[in-house]
Amino acid sequence: MPPVWRLSSVSVSKAMSFETKEVRTKSELDAIVDVIWAAMEPEPSHASFFPIVGSRELARERAIEESKSRLWHGHEMDSSSHWIYVTELEDGKQSVVGGCQWRIYDTNPFPDPDARINATWWPEGSTGRAFASEVASQCHQPRKAWMACPHAGITLMSVLPEKQRQGVGSQLMEWGLEQMNDRDIEGFVEASPSGRQLYLKHGFVDVAYVRVKMDHDDLSLTDVWKELEKNYLPVDYTAMWRPKGGHMPRDEMARIWKEKLKVPVKNHVEGLI
């Protein structure tokens, strides 16, 4: 990554082409959501969280608009939420090339570890909503079980495919690493395979492989549910952690995580540390 220097809340790459900023308006977040769709639509887990319901092209536009409203509403309601993005200056025009959400928690954010997520982004009363609620709740459950403490978390880290491997993801990481170091808090992320490579480079370590597990009696399944499982599973990730300050002896990390992983969760979990 090229050297970076700070100008108040904005960091600027040496080439002066990439700038890191924090979202203040819905139109800034809308531009990040366009990047999320471009970067993440091919990811298997994308469709559960950003479903396209109905006939293809118009339905896709509606789904993108719905996700823009939903993420903005969620951001406005959540004082821990910071959307960070990187712009590139090209031909005199600034465009958004990457973005992510950092959530900075100075206290335990999970007072109710059993609270479930209701996938309101699927139609009310639909089997899709029941299915996506189960997927979303399971995806979030390990973090609630293991990170009931102050920490910084990353969600929806995305860089335009044509701008990847040029340091944009690293600039988005820098913002959060500085917060973690200043506040002396841990970091946690549910990583995709390419995200994992980025986080490894920035001091995160693998702590567990996590996969959504549907334990049900096959005979009771409806055809719609079976179809959803066929289309949307597996959903899995590598749970990654960064200790306070970014460093800790390996055996000390292993000792901490051996204890944390004892907290039962519904998912399939394999310890990696």
Ligand X SMILES: CC(C)(COP(=O)(O)OP(=O)(O)OC[C@H]1O[C@@H](n2cnc3c(N)ncnc32)[C@H](O)[C@@H]1OP(=O)(O)O)[C@@H](O)C(=O)NCCC(=O)NCCS
Residues of the shown chain interacting with ligand X in the complex, contacts defined by CB under 6 A: 39-40, 43, 98, 157-159, 164-170, 191-192, 194-195, 197-198, 201
Tell the smallest beta-carbon distance from residue 172 to ligand X (Å).
7
For residues 170 and 167, give the distance between their C-alpha atoms in angstroms, rounded to a whole number.
Answer: 5
Tell the smallest beta-carbon distance from residue 169 to ligand X (Å).
3
Tell the smallest beta-carbon distance from residue 179 to ligand X (Å).
18
Closer residue to ligand X, CB minimum distance, 173 or 227: 173
Tell the smallest beta-carbon distance from residue 154 to ligand X (Å).
7
Closest residue to ligand X, judged by C-beta, is 169
Q: Which residues contact 173 (CB under 8 A, 6 or more apart)?
A: 198, 199, 202
Closer residue to ligand X, CB minimum distance, 17 or 126: 17
Tell the smallest beta-carbon distance from residue 126 to ligand X (Å).
27
Closer residue to ligand X, CB minimum distance, 148 or 200: 200
Closer residue to ligand X, CB minimum distance, 139 or 269: 139
Closer residue to ligand X, CB minimum distance, 159 or 207: 159
Closer residue to ligand X, CB minimum distance, 44 or 123: 44
Tell the smallest beta-carbon distance from residue 36 to ligand X (Å).
8
**What one-character-per-residue DSSP string does the chain give?**
---EEEETTEEEETTS-EEEEE--SHHHHHHHHHHHHHHHTTSTTHHHHS---SSHHHHHHHHHHHHHHHHHHHHHH-TTEEEEEEEEEETTEEEEEEEEEEEEESS-S-S-TTPPPP-TTS-TT-HHHHHHHHHHHHHHHHHHHH--SSEEEEEEEEE-GGGTTSSHHHHHHHHHHHHHHHHT-EEEEEE-HHHHHHHHHTT-EEEEEEE------GGG--HHHHHHHHHH---EEEEEEE-GGG---HHHHHHHHHHHTTS--SSEEEE--
Tell the smallest beta-carbon distance from residue 165 to ligand X (Å).
4
Closer residue to ligand X, CB minimum distance, 63 or 198: 198
| CB-count burial class (<10 Å; 0-12, 13-18, 19+) for 226 | exposed
